[in-house]
Each structure stands twice: as structure tokens, then as C-alpha cells.
Amino acid sequence: MNLIFKNATIIDKNSKFNNQAVDIKVENGVITKIAKDIAEEANFEVIQLDNLHISRGWFDSSVSLGEPGYEDRETIKNGLNVAARSGFTNIALQPNANPIADTQADISFLLSKGHNAATSLHPIGALTKNSEGLDIAELFDMQNAGAVAFGDYNKDLPDANLLKIALQYAQDFDGLVITFCQDSKIKGKGVVHEGFVSTRLGLKGIPALAEELQVARNLYLLEYTGGKMHIPTVSTGKSVQLIREAKAKGLNVTCSVAVHHLVLTDDTLVNFDTRYKVAPPLRPENERKALLEGVLDGTIDMITSDHNPLDIELKKMEFDMAKNGTIGLETAFGALANILPVDIIVEKLTAGKSIFKIEDHGMEEGATASFTLFTTEGNHTFTKADILSKSKNSAFLGQQLKGKAYGVYHNGKLIINE
């Protein structure tokens, strides 16, 4: 496929064409020319889109789908199509299907299902067998099969010694250990952030301490063992400060924040709408601002949609009983564009590739063509008609979004929203 992208503004701080409107010529999957004006040629398709912006491809470090076992929530084929149309060239797939991805065979299966798609799938292997927190899974074998990291999705690891052993063992093959931080004992039966809103609504609260204690404990373990640790979806200012201090010590720790924690607060819970029930829970405005500060000062390395499709039977029930999770791929860019500059958004949606050791390609002549197409203009209200996922559990329904992803060019395939 030979293409010429016309009048595209490149957003890539490492490119000499950063913030310049140029034409981009792609031949056989390689960027062969970037210039102010490239003449149209026979056998080249010309791509012209309003307010076209192009950056190196976006990466989402936490995506759940469903297949195998929960295809009613989402299939891998449709999930990758959603990711491509949402601007993501690469996603890290959580191991929380059925069965849990905790063996070499499971990783190979997931890779085979994602083969030849426009968005590349990178499986995360479970850290413990069946994500039960009792025994370390086959980490080395899974990494050899293609796993990019190891973690038990949205589950803490109560056994500190098991995490210590995992961190020590993973160093032998430069493995990345993901540690979701929420002390299950302190969380108890809590379902929302413990504070004014939980008291007002009469819902059991989860103290911020439940996250912060686990962050502190896990960082102490990392300091003792060495190795690499990634803390996903941090949600409190104290957690950010603990990670900031750990980085200052030289610890090899990275972290992410979910889009919904940067944009929404627990005030949205006033109508007991279970679309806003997520883990960790939505926090008050002061915590949201602390997370934004962590993004801007570089403490928070990346932003994730934490995309988690769930069918209506798991969401449309009493708040206490509903399952945690929201879809987020479709709304990630549009929601972030309301609160962050475009260069910061691109940086935080691409930085994770180096952390997860995923091949990255810049916006320069001679580079493999792998990029995201988007616009920064236009405001619209997100509705059910905009949802591409099989499940409709979006916390952003009715929200005003700014700009949108047009699609991607990746793996030699061009996907553009109609």
C-alpha cells in the first residue's frame, strides 16, 4: 500500500518536523519522504483529512477484552478493531479472560488470535497461577512465548514474600512485574472512595490508605530486591508522591494513571450509576489535581484507558453488586484533550512502549510507518452510537469530548473511521 498523507501536522518531540504541517509519503510500509509539498503520483492513494495530525503510534498498557471465555463481552478481533479506530497501534492485553493467561500456551493462543491485525496485541501474563496469589506462574516460559509483562489484573498480592521472590526471579530475564496496589483487608467491602460522597450516599468506602500502603510496601520490596516494577492506575496524590520519592532514589519503577481518574471525580456517583464503579475508585477533586500534577512533572509515565468491557448483566444491578470497570479506548483522546496539551497527551500515550519493550518508530524518513492519525478540533457529546465495543459500559456517556482519533497506519494497514 503506497500512500501520501497531505497537510499533516506532526506531533513528535523527537522529530525535526515536530509541530510542522507537511506531506508524508509511505511506500511499502516505510516513510520515504517528508516535505512541505509532495506531488501526487500514480499508484499512490492520497489521504486528506480535516486538521490532520500524525504522531508515532499510541500504546495502551491496560486493555481487557474477554476472549477466550467471555466473548459476549468482547472478542479479540473486534477489540483490536476498536483499538485501531481509537488511534492505538499497540495494546497490552490483560490476562483476565477464562482461562487466565498463565502459561506459554495461553500467550501463544492470544498472539495467534491477534495476528495480522492493524493493531498489535502484546499479552501480559499472570504473575501468579490463575491469578490466585498463591504460586508464581511460568514467567520465563511466558516471556519466551511473547508476554511483555506479568501481573494479576486488579488484584493485590497479600503475600509480600511471594512478590519479593517474583521480583528477584524476573531479574534473570529482565521481566517487568506489574503490581496493582489495593490492600484487600483495608478495602474490605468498600465500593467507592471513603469520604464525603460515600457518607452522603450511604455506600461503604475504600480509604485512600488501601492503595497507599500497598504502594509503600511494594516500593520497599523493590528497593530490597532490585528489578523492574510497574504500578498501574495510581489514583491518589500520596501514591504519586511515594513513587516520585522512589524515582529520586533511583528505583526502577514506572506507573500509569487511567483516563477516568484524570477526568472524573466521585461526584459523578450521585445517581448511583454503576458505569462509574471502577477499581481503584474515582476520587475527589483534590486527588484528581494531584494526578494531573504527576502527569505534568513526569512522575506518572503513561496514561491508560484501562479499557474493561462488561456486559449489561454485570453492570445493571445494585451498586454494591456491580462489577468494576469501564470501556475507554474510544474516548481516551477526546477526554484527555479537554484537560491536557496535545504534546503531553501524545507523550503519555507513547512512552509506555519503551517500558514494555515494544518496538517504536519515529516520524522520520526511512522509519517504518507506524503512526496515529487524529484531529485536535471539534467538540461532540459521546453517545451510545459512538461506542464501537460490544459492551456499552462507558463512564463517558454524555460527556463532552474534544477532537478525535481518525485511526492508524500500522502493520502495513490503514484504518480510518468513516
243-265: per-residue pLDDT in tens?
999 999 999 999 999 999 999 99
**Residues 239, 348 within the same domain:** yes
Domain assignment of residue 41, yes or no: yes
Helices (H), 202-280: 209-225, 237-248, 259-263
**Residues 254, 303 within the same domain:** yes
**Residues 42, 154 within the same domain:** no
**Residues 61, 42 within the same domain:** no
% of the chain beyond a pLDDT of 70: 100
Q: What are phi and psi of 88, to 5 degrees?
A: -100, 120
Q: What is the mean pLDDT of residues 54-74?
A: 97
Domain assignment of residue 394, yes or no: no
In the chain, the N- to C-terminal Cα span, in Å, equals 19
Q: What is the pLDDT of residues 7-41, one digit of tens each?
A: 999 999 999 999 999 999 999 999 999 999 999 99
Q: What is the mean pLDDT of residues 225-237?
A: 98
Chain-centroid distance, C-alpha 129: 23
Find out whether 219 and 163 touch, Cβ atoms under 8 Å.
no
Q: What is the pLDDT of residues 381-393, one digit of tens each?
A: 999 999 999 999 9
Q: How confident is the model at residue 1 (pLDDT cuts 50, 70, 90)?
A: confident
Q: Is the pLDDT of residue 418 over 80?
A: no
Q: How confident is the model at residue 313 (pLDDT cuts 50, 70, 90)?
A: very high
**Residues 28, 120 within the same domain:** no
Domain assignment of residue 360, yes or no: no
Residue 306 falls in the annotated catalytic set: yes
**Residues 8, 76 within the same domain:** no
Whether the pTM exceeds 0.85: the reply is yes
Q: What is the pLDDT of residues 156-190, one digit of tens each?
A: 999 999 999 999 999 999 999 999 999 999 999 99
Q: Strand pairing partners for 401?
A: 380
What's the whole-number average pLDDT of the chain? 97
DSSP per residue, 315-364: HSS-TTTSPP-BB-TTTHHHHHTTTS-HHHHHHHHHTHHHHTT-----SS
Domain assignment of residue 392, yes or no: no
Q: What is the mean pLDDT of residues 323-346?
A: 98
- The helix or strand, by DSSP H or E, that contains position 105, with its residue range, turns out to be helix 104-113
Question: How far is it, in rounded angstroms, from Cα 181 to Cα 184?
Answer: 9
**Residues 38, 89 within the same domain:** no
**Number of domains observed in the structure of the chain:** 2
**Residues 372, 351 within the same domain:** no
Question: How far is it, in rounded angstroms, from Cα 356 to Cα 353?
Answer: 5
Domain assignment of residue 166, yes or no: yes
**Residues 267, 302 within the same domain:** yes
**CATH code for the domain of 373:** 2.30.40.10
> Which of the residues 12, 306, 311, 386 is marked catalytic?
306
Q: What is the pLDDT of residues 338-363, one digit of tens each?
A: 999 999 999 999 999 999 999 999 99
**CATH code for the domain of 320:** 3.20.20.140
Domain assignment of residue 68, yes or no: yes
**Residues 24, 94 within the same domain:** no
Question: How far is it, in rounded angstroms, from Cα 2 to Cα 74?
Answer: 32
Kindly list the distances between the CA atom of residue 196 and the CA atoms of 205, 235, 250, 322, 367, in Å, as whole numbers in the listed order: 10, 17, 37, 21, 52
The confidence score (pLDDT) of residue 6 equals 97
**Residues 24, 111 within the same domain:** no
**Residues 42, 160 within the same domain:** no
Q: Which domain holds residue 40?
A: 3-53+365-380+400-416
Grid coordinates standing for 347? Answer: 507523550
